[in-house]
A and B are shown apart, each in its own frame.
Chain A
């Protein structure tokens, strides 16, 4: 989640400089994982079928303590870079320790981006522009797979669960050093996870199920949960749970986060704020032969056209956010290519249920039916996306493609209006982020449709910070927001959207449904994948039925790159691993 738009869409026309702070919510990234140990093995069997309907031969992780193990990588192993993790998902990500793609050493990559990083305190920062950088410095115990549907071992090589499902024992890699040469031990891991659980920075909800953490020996970590908690492995892959040195390596917290050290492929170098941030190669990195690059720089280039020109002129190798409007323009450039990576970004319409008539389900349904999602995909994404049907997205486990979401249908919309308390219509205001292309198209398309229902909708453009504030204070009628997952488990979004404890006031809509809350809470505590799927299927249908947060569309992450860039891959959470990237 994040404050800044990862630039995913759109020529934010007025995108003045740093702005893509367009919406609060949602963008977060993260490493992925999968709720429930051993699910990985099961999902591997499912391939990338978007509806992870359990197959009968999948052994239920609820019934056996599952173990995932990673290969030994290091000087002691002759086959150091080889073996595939047994028991881990077969869909290993490009960055899986087990599969290191070949590449040439040397060279530097410049990534052009619309806005600068904000800060590097992982317990406080929500900006993707910060997180995408810091995951090159720090690593997590588990990591998400390329398809975003499984979790793989990373700094932890394997784990076992007690019979009552409350105690998890993790074995840590023994060959990992921080970039200053200090070996990483369980004390560092405990310190890092405790820090993420106790700091009131907004991320602590991720670890809310953890009761305590103990360290029987330097390479063993025991996590006890307060209750059965299926998303734990996915949670451990969340960037906020990255591993930092115990007690910040003797520095103050503030000093540490101004020039952090970690176990990742790159180390801190320089940050010319508002301009350029550079990381250089970690010579103590534990994955043999990596990283290939000598350095990576993120250069702040607010202007969409200028970023494209830099790719054309080779002054940058990667453009982190080419607007969809320019994707075709770049297709014809020799030596450059645009890749659309499947993402978890989903856009939603917010209706404030604290204000009449949005507390009336018929009004909400009428409005949801009145959204021409196909038109939005054409105008906002230039065809690069699909209309959304569910709160969840196809790139997370437990998404149900058969969720009966409302599609554009003015006849049904009128019928719902007739059933509502305001059959003749009403006046309302759409809170729009100025310069945001989604808002500008959505508000106009919606305005025209709502007119047919007798609803007069004014459009009130405000700047990003004002939007955050007004949405957070439930001071709006209709607005728009989006979400990007940080972990490979729907729980992160479901908590935020449905549960009061999620801190999101139901995505700022004040939606309050006991039935939805009960389904969400049960699903968190269910390890059996088939049962969990059934719960989430029910939940998605219920949310659609209630026309809570009408989903608009699913969109990919567009990236423009020089063809010389090898192995660059963006996961559905938005994370990418520069450790395996090389230049041809």
Chain B
């Protein structure tokens, strides 16, 4: 029950956050030059045409009214209609959200799968050759721009080896899985060095602590000690590190999406900003806010599951 209340409270904080963010975005979009009607109507745009379209889109009304209209629709679960696509924002957002969520989840998963063994190995072989290699080599992943890394992976695994599709998201679950491997790997390789360093550091600390010495003294084998006793405790701070970075990924997958033609939410957002498609921009901003809050919530909950000392109340 306590747990449930905690979750509800966290969800409630979304309301002011969402309001603040949408208001900010709304005002920012109004400040910069650029008129959706002019953009839509193109070259032979006439003043009459612009005025008519402004009226049709409700852009001729005062700012506060426009914002309140947006809020009013939001309360009914309606994110409005896209100016350029003339279809509902919610359906566009949902459609484009799918590849983005796949990408973030796969990226996080791959990062964990790659980073955990490396960090554990490095911590168990402290200051050896392998430790130094594990601490430095992944840094290359941080330094390589995602677009270049993506292209290299495509050259190696798609064009040369033919193992994975070079681009797109495929149709159907099996093809989605195939298509997401390389983009997921691109995202993961940027996360791995961060995770490795944080997990190795905490692992090193834990492995020197008294209870580990006790466990070893009692004759527990190396693997049991490392995975059974040390990892769970060492992972606690790394979960937060991963969470923060995944939350950051929510808004930054655009480059990877672009290289792999995944056309996720980032693509939709940029396109909408360029066209001043206000409803889409506001809709996606809200979705981003919700996602960041959700990722943070999940991080805290995982943290709590790993660490009984954390009281959720």
Q: Is the CB of B41 within 8 A of A202?
A: yes
Bound CA span A89–B87, Å? 44
Check if A466 is an interface residue, CB within 8 A of chain B.
yes
Q: What's the Cα separation between A125 and B48 when bound, in Å? A: 16
Q: Is residue A313 within 8 Å, beta carbon to beta carbon, of the partner chain?
A: yes
B167 lies within 8 A of chain A by Cβ: yes
CA distance A529 to B41 in the complex (A): 34
| Mask of B29-73 contacts with A, CB within 8 angstroms, 1/0 | 000111110111111111011001000000000000000000000
Asked if B267 CB lies within 8 Å of chain A CBs, one says yes
A274–B92 touching, CB < 8 Å: yes
Q: Does A115 contact B (CB under 8 A)?
A: yes
Per-residue interface assignment for chain B, residues 136 to 167, with 1 indicating a CB less than 8 Å from any chain A CB and 0 otherwise: 00000000000100010011001100000111
Q: How far is the CA of A379 from the CA of B81 in the complex (A)?
A: 42
Which chain A residues border B96 with CB–CB below 8 Å?
Answer: 274-275
Distance between Cα atoms of A234 and B169 in the complex (Å): 42
- B161-183 interface code vs A (CB 8 A; 1 in, 0 out): 00001111100000000000000
- Contact check, B263 vs A300: say whether CB atoms are below 8 A apart: yes
Q: Does the CB pair A463–B261 fall under 8 Å?
A: no
Give complex CA distance A18, B274 in Å.
8
Out of A28, A203, A272, A463, name the residue touching B34 (CB < 8 Å): A463
- B34 and A315 contact, CB distance less than 8 A: no
Contact B46 A200 (CB under 8 A): yes
The A contact surface, by secondary structure, is loop
Does the CB pair A472–B259 fall under 8 Å? Answer: no
Given contacts A202-B44, A496-B44, contact A21 B167 (CB under 8 A): no
A303 to B166, CA, bound (A): 12
Interface residues on B, range: 35 or more
A303 to B154, CA, bound (A): 13
Is B195 among interface residues, defined by CB-CB distance under 8 A? no
Find the B residue at minimum CB distance from A127: B42
Q: State A201–B52 Cα separation when bound (angstroms).
A: 10
The reply on A574 being an interface residue by CB < 8 A is no
For the complex, is B135 an interface residue (Cβ under 8 Å from A)?
no
The complex places the Cα of A417 from the Cα of B219 at a distance, in Å, of: 92
Which among B45, B48, B258, B263 is the interface contact of A16 at CB below 8 angstroms? Answer: B258
**B-chain residues with CB within 8 Å of residue A17 when the two chains form the complex:** 254, 258, 266-267, 270-271, 274
B29 to chain A, nearest CB (A): 10
Partner of A465, one of B52, B87, B155, B275: B275
Cα-based distance from A124 to B86 in the complex (angstroms): 13
**Contact A3-B39, Cβ < 8 Å, known A18-B271, A274-B96, A274-B268:** yes
Question: Does B168 contact A24, Cβ atoms closer than 8 Å?
Answer: no
Known A306-B166, A309-B154, A469-B34; contact A274-B274, beta-carbon cutoff 8 A: no
B44 contacts A302, CB within 8 Å?
no
The one of A127, A205, A272, A306 in contact with B95, judged by C-beta atoms closer than 8 angstroms, is A272
A306 neighbours in B (Cβ, 8 Å):
154, 166-167, 258-261
- B276 within 8 A of partner (CB): yes
Instruction: Enumerate A403-437 residues with CB–CB distance to B below 8 Å.
Output: none
Within 8 A of B (CB), among A271-319: 272-275, 299-303, 305-306, 309-310, 312-313, 315
Chain B residues with CB under 8 A of A25: 43
**CB pair B43 A465 closer than 8 Å:** no
Residue of A nearest to B158 (CB): A313
- The answer to whether B267 and A274 touch across the interface, beta carbons within 8 angstroms, is yes
Q: How far is the CB of B52 from chain A (nearest CB, A)?
A: 7
Q: Which of A17, A254, A469, A503 has the most CB of B within 10 A?
A: A17
- 30 pairs, A vs B, C-beta closer than 8 Å: A16-B258, A17-B254, A17-B258, A17-B266, A17-B271, A18-B275, A21-B274, A21-B275, A118-B85, A119-B84, A126-B41, A200-B46, A200-B49, A201-B49, A202-B43, A202-B49, A273-B87, A273-B92, A274-B85, A274-B267, A301-B168, A301-B261, A309-B151, A309-B159, A313-B166, A466-B33, A469-B35, A472-B35, A472-B38, A496-B43
On B, residues with C-beta under 8 Å from A are: 32-36, 38-46, 48-49, 52, 84-87, 92, 95-96, 147, 151, 154-155, 158-159, 165-169, 254, 258-261, 263, 266-268, 270-271, 273-276
Top 5 closest pairs, chain A to chain B, by CB: A126-B42, A18-B271, A465-B34, A1-B43, A202-B44
Chain A positions near chain B (C-beta within 8 angstroms): 1-3, 16-19, 21, 24-26, 28, 112, 115-116, 118-119, 124-127, 200-203, 205, 254, 258, 272-275, 299-303, 305-306, 309-310, 312-313, 315, 462-466, 468-470, 472, 475, 496, 502-504
